């Protein structure tokens, strides 16, 4: 019998079916804690968990990643100016609400030839990736809370190939410039570039990580005594029992376990719920209006990036004011949204010029 907290060196049989009968009789909070530790991005169990296996190759520094910086608020001016060379950790950038442009020149290492190569960028604040010819490509969010550090440089990179990008760093977080957990604005926040690495994703492990995140949500956020929640927790525990980070067979078995659970169909009379992407951008909250305009570009360019990568993905957004700003300030991005809407991957909704802080309609 499998006990939470111990690994038995065996492989689950193909007819392994989680149920209330074979779920270990241990306190739910212990099972939850074990799953949290396995998924954690830090802590004493990090080396034994899944998070440190998400990336398999890593390169940083000259000549593979060359960085230059110029502090100016406009992309047209920035890309024509002389940038100053610097290295990671050399400077603090700020204060709050200021803008710093980074010229990023990437030269693909021999070891990454043929791989999908990703740039991992963490400055602790928000940013926007631009192409060398001035097209917004994707937003970035630094730190650890709701972070987005990765931007795919090439789907199939060639050794010694050179890529030129610009990153517009905004010296504020997702929720303004409050210190720590405070929402009170600190006018003197500074940020330091901590990471600018080229990495290759460990796709099977990343698939497993996202599946386990869904299982954790089912186990944590539904009735813990329900069959569905118990099954989710059971499967997650089996995955932890079988996981060996550098063993392809073990990882394949773990993915089989999660897929078997997540691919189960409801009965024919059950409701079908379809998820549609959305990001609620407060037009006026913890930042100036000018920052709202940039948040729109960062958020919506990221969604367009996902739309290009996933043909079945559909995104929706309201707030006519934000569309108007985008059309005025980011016309190339606006044209991309029009094309996505025509392709039925971008739904325009809303009954007011500025979205309310709620999603339910008013009933009279």
- Helices marked H in the chain — which ranges? 28-39, 75-78, 203-221, 227-242, 248-262, 289-309, 320-329, 331-342
* Length of the chain measured in residues: 364
**CATH code reported for the domain at 277-352:** 1.10.1240.90
pLDDT tens for each residue of the chain, 364 residues long: 233 343 433 344 333 444 444 455 567 788 889 898 999 888 888 888 898 899 988 998 889 998 998 887 666 777 777 889 988 988 999 999 999 999 999 999 999 999 999 999 999 999 999 999 999 999 999 988 789 999 999 999 999 999 999 999 999 999 999 987 788 999 999 999 999 999 999 999 999 999 999 999 999 998 888 889 999 999 999 999 999 988 999 999 999 999 999 998 877 787 888 899 998 899 989 999 999 999 999 999 999 999 999 999 999 998 999 999 999 999 999 999 999 999 999 999 877 788 776 655 555 4
Question: How is residue 248 written in tokens?
Answer: 């392809």
> What is the pTM assigned to this prediction?
0.84
**CATH code reported for the domain at 55-201:** 2.60.120.260
Residue spans of the domains in the chain: they are 28-54+204-263, 55-201, 277-352
The pLDDT value recorded for residue 73 is 64
Cα dihedral 347/309/117/124 (nearest 10): 20
Task: Identify the CA nearest to 301 among candidates 156, 139, 81.
Answer: 139
């Amino acid at each position: 019998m499998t006990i939470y907290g111990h690994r038995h060196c065996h492989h689950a049989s193909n007819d392994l079916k989680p149920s209330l009968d074979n779920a270990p009789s241990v306190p739910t909070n212990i099972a939850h804690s074990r799953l949290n530790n396995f998924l954690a991005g830090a802590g004493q169990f990090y080396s034994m968990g899944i998070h440190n296996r998400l990336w398999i190759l890593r390169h940083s520094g000259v000549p593979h990643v060359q960085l230059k910086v110029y502090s100016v608020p406009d992309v047209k001016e920035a890309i024509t100016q002389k940038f100053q060379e610097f290295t990671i950790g050399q400077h603090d950038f700020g204060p709050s609400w200021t803008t710093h442009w980074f010229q990023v020149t990437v030269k693909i290492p021999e070891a990454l030839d043929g791989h999908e190569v990703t740039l991992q960028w963490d400055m602790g604040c928000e940013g926007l990736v631009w192409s060398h010819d001035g097209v917004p490509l994707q937003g970035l969010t630094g730190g650890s809370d709701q972070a987005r550090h990765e931007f795919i440089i090439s789907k199939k990179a060639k050794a010694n190939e050179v890529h030129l990008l610009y990153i517009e760093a905004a010296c504020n977080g997702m929720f303004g410039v409050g210190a720590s957990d405070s929402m009170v604005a600190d006018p003197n926040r500074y940020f330091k570039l901590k990471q600018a690495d080229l990495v290759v994703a460990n796709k099977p492990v990343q698939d497993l990580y996202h599946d386990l995140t869904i299982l954790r949500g089912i186990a944590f956020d539904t009735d813990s005594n329900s069959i569905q929640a118990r099954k989710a927790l059971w499967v997650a525990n089996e995955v932890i029992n079988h996981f060996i980070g550098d063993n392809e067979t073990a990882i394949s078995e773990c993915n089989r376990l999660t897929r078997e659970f997540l691919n189960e169909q409801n009965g024919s009379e059950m409701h079908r719920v379809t998820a549609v992407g959305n990001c609620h951008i407060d037009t006026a909250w913890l930042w100036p209006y000018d920052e709202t305009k940039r948040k729109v570009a960062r958020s919506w360019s990221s969604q367009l990036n996902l739309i290009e990568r996933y043909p079945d993905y559909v995104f929706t957004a309201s707030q006519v004011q934000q569309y108007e700003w985008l059309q005025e300030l980011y016309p190339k991005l606006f044209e991309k949204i029009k094309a996505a809407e025509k392709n039925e991957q971008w739904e325009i909704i809303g009954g007011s010029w500025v979205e309310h802080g709620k999603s339910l309609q008013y009933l009279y």
